[in-house]
Amino acid sequence: MSRRAPGGVLRPQRLLHEATRDSARLRPPSGIGLDSPGVRMRMVERLRQLKLADDFVLSAFERVPRHRFVDSAFVPQAYEDTSLPIGHGQTISKPSVVARMLQLLAEAPGRLRGGAEVRLGRVLEIGTGCGYQAALLALLSERLTSVERIAALHHGAQARLSALKSELPLCSFQLLLADGSLGRLGVGPYDAIIAAAGGEAIPEAWLQHLAPGGRLVAPVARGAGGQRLMVVDRVRGAEGPQEWRLTECEGVSFVPLKSGVLV
């Protein structure tokens, strides 16, 4: 039966119905869909089976809604172990890679004070991106500084983290719009430094901002377009060239560390 009024004009009631239906269709799926806590828990279970991280690190993955950090088109893939585009040619890293890096920070020798509940301390992140890893870090750290060089990503992450603050017990955090390969890295020293972008070498400023007993985890270029994950421990109390101990880990694939700020 036609609901059109004489003259072909849609009745207001019908218009309202269609508008409601369209807004429901355009909204990213929620509740029982692909962004439900159940789907998130299944992702965490898969990470647990991979034995990449312990309960301390996985507790953060259980709580942070990854689907809120990606574009609505990617919500159905938000809890798959895959990297996803976040705009401006950048990507949010695979959950398994993030878990591995956070676990490396959690296992820093200087941090082991007996007990899984000891937090990561003062943390610096290079490459805020969409803010997902920053949110995980903000649940695991005492305070967090995160640096991003692309203004649009910086502002987006700021909005998401500010919204999440009322829902989760995030530590005090500061997001900076800056080139993280230079010295503008907030107030150091840091107990943990983590980079989500890889350059030719680890910038000197990062090494200097690392506290004695602290650990840095970063991808570094290793010939023919490959990258490797590097762990740098700053040995407590030591002096001279042996102060930073470097361990080369597995091959990885991160976006490049670039210079300058894009506003």
Binding segment (CB under 6 A) for ligand SAH, from list 42-50, 122-130, 223-231, 238-246: 122-130
CA-based nearest residue to 120, from 138, 98, 134, 132:
138
**179 contacts ligand SAH (rule: CB under 6 A):** yes
Given a contact cutoff of 8 angstroms between Cβ atoms, the answer to whether 165 and 223 are in contact is no
Binding segment (CB under 6 A) for ligand SAH, from list 19-27, 41-49, 85-93, 208-216: 85-93
Binding segment (CB under 6 A) for ligand SAH, from list 20-28, 34-42, 48-56, 124-132: 124-132
Is 30 among the catalytic positions?
no
The Cα–Cα gap between 127 and 70 comes to: 16
CA-based nearest residue to 174, from 195, 145, 196, 147:
145
Taking CB under 6 A as the rule, which mask of x and - marks residues 140-159 in contact with ligand SAH? -------xxxx--x------
Q: Which of 36, 59, 72, 93 is labelled catalytic?
A: 93
CA distances from 25 to 13, 32, 157 (A): 18, 15, 26
Q: What does R_g of the chain's alpha carbons equal in angstroms? A: 22
**258 contacts ligand SAH (rule: CB under 6 A):** yes
Q: To which H or E segment does residue 137 belong?
A: helix 132-140
Q: Which is nearer to ligand SAH, 176 or 249 (CB)?
A: 176
**257 contacts ligand SAH (rule: CB under 6 A):** yes
User: How many residues touch ligand SAH (CB under 6 A)?
Assistant: 25
First to last CA, the chain: 55
Residues at the contact surface with ligand SAH, assessed by CB under 6 A: 86, 90-93, 126-127, 129-130, 132-133, 147-150, 153, 179-181, 196-197, 255, 257-259
